[in-house]
Amino acid sequence: MSIRYYSTNRNLKNVAGITPFTGKVSFKEALLKGQASDEGLFMPDTIPQLSLKEIQKMKGKPYSDTALLVSKAFLADEFPLENLKKVVKDSYNYPVPLEKVKPKTYIMRLDQGPTASFKDFAARMMARLMSNCRPKGERLNILVATSGDTGSAVGEAFKGVAGIDVTILYPEAEVSNMQKKQLDTIGGNVQALSAAGKFDDCQNLVKQAFSDPDLVKFNLTSANSINFGRILPQIIYYIYAYAQLMERDEQVIFSVPSGNFGNALGCEYARRMGLPVAKLVMPTNENDEFPIFMATGIYKKVSPSRACISNAMNVGHPSNLARFFNLYDGTVDRVGQVHKYPDMEEMRRYIFSVSVTDKQTRETIKIVYKKYKVILEQHGAVGWAGLVEYFKKYPEEKLAVCLETAHPAKFPEEIQKLLGLTMPLPDSMKNIDQRKGSAVSISNDFSDFKKYLQKNLKIKE
Ligand SMILES: *Cc1c(COP(=O)(O)O)cnc(C)c1O
């Protein structure tokens, strides 16, 4: 029986402004739609199971083997095996280092992809799955508004993918020079537009485009971070890490620096598929709505969100919280209103969360370097600090893996200031200065943007 996807808002009857979507869709539909018509998030109605034996078999095998194991479990009914094999081979052609820091404690570096952040893992696989299920003979056009890192991960992921073009919109004045270079020079089927105005303006332009009837013929799609197609690939590395590191039937603790909770959600699903995860540690930066919720049982989003040095985690209401609530039998909506609280006892059994200040983050970078000669950047350091806090509270001898979600060379100022050294850029980004390409400048007026799209987007293959 194939897995179907329902909306996290399906039970919200009698809530103003929401017409709950009570049906179910296929994975392909969920992938192309991004979110349900009631603005809820798609959830699989069954979670496929993996036996410990199947997981253990992945020891010593390439990453793409684990990727195939997990994607087959979810997608075998909707994609031919040959296609899935090709998808995972093309997506994962870079290393996934597991670095030993001290006995039984590891750092998994998810920073070796083309844009040196863990977002490459999800974006690359999603891009190839989308290419596989676009309407026959037609093109898909991806529109993304970005304030930086997501745009380049998505752009690089779709680069050269058959039948799909990508238009990235970013706010001219709000991206760093390195980010601008990354976005402008992807090339091929990926074009950047630099818009006058702020990130919110970009997001509004994209939103308007999606609802404009004249643009329907272009098959516009978002590569949104809440797409289940981006969650599924994030299950894989937890299973991979465990298979490589386990020595006997033991449990494992993962620490995942968290912003929108998509990464941590991958671990939650891995556990529910059968991975023996003793605890999912979810440290946040000073956006502490979730750790406070775990401590008090009362949820209140942080608004506006706080600007911390782990800037990819500056989120005051994590978009994937709705999925966590749903998995623990609660409901929260897009704006952060709780309609039903989840089972707190059950949640605390599997999840530990703590807020890490910028001061602690910087100290962690220094201590970890001094003690272990390991270089972390600020997101990974939040993860490490969270793990340390967890072991302070629950001292036990368990296998533990902390995720490093970006490459330290992406944050040269902070690393220079704290450690007095410069890190070379990873291979994937080494020649960035010599890369060519430029953005098209547009105003923040929708009619300009629409004219650009009508003139430049293609319909047929
Ligand atoms: C996006 C991002 C995060 C946060 O991941 P979520 O899935 O949103 O919780 C952490 N670190 C880096 C470097 C990121 O880019």
> 205-262, pLDDT tens digit by residue?
998 998 899 999 999 988 877 899 999 999 999 999 999 999 988 999 999 999 999 9
Per-residue confidence (pLDDT) for residue 15, from 0 to 100: 87
Per-residue confidence (pLDDT) for residue 116, from 0 to 100: 92
pLDDT for 204 beyond 70: yes
- Does any ligand 1 atom lie closer than 6 A to the CB of residue 219? no
User: At 1, is the pLDDT very low, low, confident or very high (cuts 50, 70, 90)?
Assistant: low
Per-residue confidence (pLDDT) for residue 143, from 0 to 100: 93
> Which of 139-153, 250-264, 271-285 has the least mean pLDDT?
139-153
- Does any ligand 1 atom lie closer than 6 A to the CB of residue 108? no
> How many whole angstroms separate alpha carbon 212 and alpha carbon 208?
6
The atom number, within ligand 1, closest to the CA of 262 reads 7
Q: Which of 263, 315, 403, 411 to mutate to test the pocket of ligand 1 (most atoms within 8 A of CB)?
A: 263
Phi, psi of 145 (to 5 degrees): -100, 135
- Does any ligand 1 atom lie closer than 6 A to the CB of residue 257? yes
- Closest residue CA from atom 2 of ligand 1: 312
The atom number, within ligand 1, closest to the CA of 153 reads 15
Nearest alpha-carbon partner for 362 in 350, 379, 348: 379
pLDDT for 459 beyond 90: no
Give 65 or 200, the one with higher predicted confidence. 65
Judge whether 143 and 109 are in contact, CB under 8 Å. no
- Does any ligand 1 atom lie closer than 6 A to the CB of residue 113? no
Centroid of chain to Cα 165 = 21
The atom number, within ligand 1, closest to the CA of 319 reads 8
Q: What is the mean pLDDT of the chain?
A: 94
Mean pLDDT of the 141-156 span: 88
User: At 287, is the pLDDT very low, low, confident or very high (cuts 50, 70, 90)?
Assistant: very high
Which residues face 143 on adjacent strands? 167
Mean pLDDT of the 119-134 span: 94
- Does any ligand 1 atom lie closer than 6 A to the CB of residue 231? no
Complete DSSP assignment for 13-60: TT-TT-----S-B-HHHHHHH-S-TTSPPEEESS-----HHHHHTTTT
Domain ranges for the chain: 85-117+229-416
Separation of 458 CA from ligand 1 center, angstroms? 32
The atom number, within ligand 1, closest to the CA of 256 reads 9
The string of pLDDT tens digits covering residues 168-182 is 999 988 888 888 999
User: At 434, is the pLDDT very low, low, confident or very high (cuts 50, 70, 90)?
Assistant: confident
Mean pLDDT of the 188-214 span: 90
**Burial class of residue 76 in the structure, from the number of CB atoms within 10 Å of its CB (0-12 exposed, 13-18 middle, 19+ buried):** middle
What pTM was computed for the model?
A: 0.94
H helix or E strand, kind and range, residue 293: helix 289-296
Separation of 313 CA from ligand 1 center, angstroms? 6
Separation of 80 CA from ligand 1 center, angstroms? 31
> Which of 278-287, 393-402, 428-437 has the least mean pLDDT?
428-437
Task: Write down the residue that tokens 């745009």 correspond to.
Answer: 151
- Does any ligand 1 atom lie closer than 6 A to the CB of residue 389? no
Per-residue confidence (pLDDT) for residue 223, from 0 to 100: 83
Separation of 367 CA from ligand 1 center, angstroms? 22
The atom number, within ligand 1, closest to the CA of 234 reads 7
pLDDT for 354 beyond 70: yes
Per-residue confidence (pLDDT) for residue 16, from 0 to 100: 85
Separation of 348 CA from ligand 1 center, angstroms? 22
Indicate the fold that domain 85-117+229-416 takes in CATH.
Rossmann fold (3.40.50)
pLDDT for 147 beyond 80: no
> How many whole angstroms separate alpha carbon 44 and alpha carbon 29?
12
- Does any ligand 1 atom lie closer than 6 A to the CB of residue 150? no
Per-residue confidence (pLDDT) for residue 461, from 0 to 100: 65
> How many whole angstroms separate alpha carbon 321 and alpha carbon 337?
11
- Does any ligand 1 atom lie closer than 6 A to the CB of residue 260? yes
Mean pLDDT of the 154-167 span: 94
- Does any ligand 1 atom lie closer than 6 A to the CB of residue 149? yes
**Helices first, then strands: H and E counts in the chain:** 18, 15
**Residue 453 has which token pair?**
């799209």
Separation of 265 CA from ligand 1 center, angstroms? 12
The atom number, within ligand 1, closest to the CA of 315 reads 8
Mean pLDDT of the 295-315 span: 93
The atom number, within ligand 1, closest to the CA of 377 reads 13
Give 72 or 152, the one with higher predicted confidence. 72
Per-residue confidence (pLDDT) for residue 17, from 0 to 100: 84
pLDDT for 96 beyond 90: yes
Mean pLDDT of the 419-445 span: 89
